[in-house]
Amino acid sequence: MMAPWVETYRLRGGDIIMRSLCHVTKGAKSDSNSAAIEELKKQIEQIAQDLNLLKEQEALQTVCLKGIKIPGKCFLADTTKKSFHASNDDCTAKGGTLSSPLSGDENDQLYNYVQQTVGPEGHIWLGTGSPIRFKNWESEITHHPDGGRGQNCAILSSTANGKWFDEDCRGEKASVCQFNIV
Ligand SMILES: [Ca+2]
């Protein structure tokens, strides 16, 4: 028969080991928990990114459905006549830029769209993309740009077959917002 103090010692020893084991287990558990939490955080961030992308795509689809789609971009008309800066601000707020055709083909498509939406005699502000890769100034009847410092904004005119004129930026015109499709 063992002496009572030995038993007590064993119990105490066992108790200490048990406690240590519990501590180790708890430590391991919280480590794996925090790893799982990190993993979940990453997944949530990914989902949030995907959701934003979907929202952007949906917004773009809405724009394209309301307006017209041409290769690489959508056009959406704003028939409210505003100054260049107000038109530019409103378009930027929608996530777009004022339309700036980059080729004769794009200019024709924009011109046709302006005729259908703003009207057969409609004018729209053009975006000021720099450097201007494509120009379509009216130069047969007038010699545009002809405004010097007083006319720093460009319009596309339906009455002149989509030709461009420079005008005073404070004038009020309709506009077309363009959205690039990636
Ligand atoms: Ca002019």
**76, 23: one domain:** no
pLDDT, tens only, 63-89: 899 999 999 999 999 999 999 999 999
Verify cis geometry, omega within 30 degrees of 0, for the bond prior to 120. no
Domain-ending residue, one of 23, 47, 66: 66
Residue 147 CB neighbours (<10 A): 14
How far does the centroid of ligand 1 lie from the alpha carbon of residue 155, in Å?
Answer: 9
A 10 A CB-CB count for 131 gives 4
For residue 105, report the distance from its CA to the centre of ligand 1, in Å.
23
pTM: 0.70
Tell me, yes or no, whether 76 and 155 share the same domain. yes
Is residue 124 within 8 A of residue 156, CB to CB? The reply is yes
148-167, pLDDT tens digit by residue?
888 999 999 999 999 999 99
Look at the chain and report how many structural domains it folds into.
Answer: 2
CA 141 to ligand 1 center in whole angstroms: 12
C-alpha 122 – ligand 1 centre gap (Å): 16
- 146: CA distance to ligand 1 center in Å? 5
Domain range enclosing 131: 69-180
